[in-house]
Amino acid sequence: MESNIITATGNVIINYEEIKANSTNAKIKINESGKPELINLIGSAKVVQGKNIVNATNLLFNPISNELIASGSAKSQTTLEDMTQVSIWSDYQQFDQNTHTLITSGRVKIVYKDYIATGPKATFLPDTKTHKPNKIVFMGRSKIQEGSRTVEADKLELSVNPKTFTAEGNVRSQFTQIGLNNKLNSSTKKQPKTTEETNKEEKINLDDFTPVNDIK
């Protein structure tokens, strides 16, 4: 007996076990036992599973392998144990709940606390003991900003606990310090008071220095 296909259109809402999903349209493949084996959400798709929220143009979820693929303006948010959030934007995201691994590619941007990291490809890996999200590895020419410091390298590794990062391969660092000088001029009552603010940006470029392979 071949699997059946259920098609739904117009503000589709799906609740299956711990998964809550909605989209404009959906196609659900049902196996012989009557359970869904593949769910395709099309158009403004959203899936909420535990502490994870995923939005994309197209979402493909396999309840059997517990794998989720998001494509087209994908955005995911994960709440960590300390209740801080990790937000991830990319063209493509692949989640494997069994291995607790997230693979992203295409204009990847990740925001975690004061970290803003961008690159062509990144993988979110779990801790080998706790199996909880703990490390993000960027491959390809990537960049990370932390406050006034910006680091660019061929490979970046971000650690959640402890919060730190390392950079490898053609490392370039730049520090930017923005100072604000306020000057108040006052005169007689007949003359209006004026306030002059001068924004000064000072950049220290370390490109001429010998790169250090590991920066923490």
Phi-psi region of 177 (alpha: psi -120 to 50; beta: other; left: phi over 0): beta
Alpha-carbon distance of 14 to 30, in angstroms, equals 14
Q: b/e per residue, 12-39, with b = 16+ CB within 10 A?
A: bebeeeebebbbebbbbeeeeeeebebb
Q: What is the pLDDT of residues 31-54, one digit of tens each?
A: 888 889 999 999 999 999 888 999
* Position 3 confidence tier, pLDDT thresholds 50, 70, 90: low
41: buried, middle or exposed (CB in 10 Å: 19+, 13-18, 0-12)?
buried
Q: Where are the domains of the chain?
A: 81-90+108-216
Question: What one-letter code names the amino acid at 109?
Answer: K
Average pLDDT over residues 157-166: 92
The predicted pLDDT at position 34 comes to 85
Residue 95 CA to its chain's centroid (Å): 13
Q: For the segment 167-191, what is each residue's pLDDT rounded down to a tens digit?
A: 999 999 999 865 434 444 444 444 4
At 98 the pLDDT is 86
Residue 198 scores a pLDDT above 90 = no
Please tell me whether the peptide bond between 63 and the residue prior to it is cis, using omega within 30 degrees of 0. no
Nearest Cα neighbor of 117 from 95, 137, 92, 91 is 137
CB 63 within 8 A of CB 15: no
Contact between 120 and 139 under an 8 Å Cβ cutoff? The reply is: yes
More confident residue, 200 or 26: 26
Give pLDDT tens digits for 48-83: 988 899 999 999 999 888 899 999 999 999 988 888
| pLDDT value of position 1 | 40
Write down the pLDDT at residue 178: 54
Cα–Cα distance for residue pair 150/207, rounded to 1 Å:
12
**What pLDDT does 119 receive?**
98
Q: What is the pLDDT of residues 83-132, one digit of tens each?
A: 899 999 999 999 998 888 999 999 999 999 999 999 999 999 998 888 88
**CA–CA dist 165, 154 (Å, integer):** 13
pLDDT on residue 207: 40
CB-hemisphere CA count at 13 Å for 33? 4
pLDDT at 12 > cutoff 60: yes
Are the C-beta atoms of residues 90 and 74 closer than 8 Å to each other? yes
What pLDDT digit, counting tens, does each position of 200-213 carry? Answer: 333 333 343 334 44
Question: How is 168-190 classified by DSSP, letter by letter?
Answer: ESS-EEEEEEEEEEEEEE---TT
CA distance linking residue 110 with residue 88, whole number of Å: 5
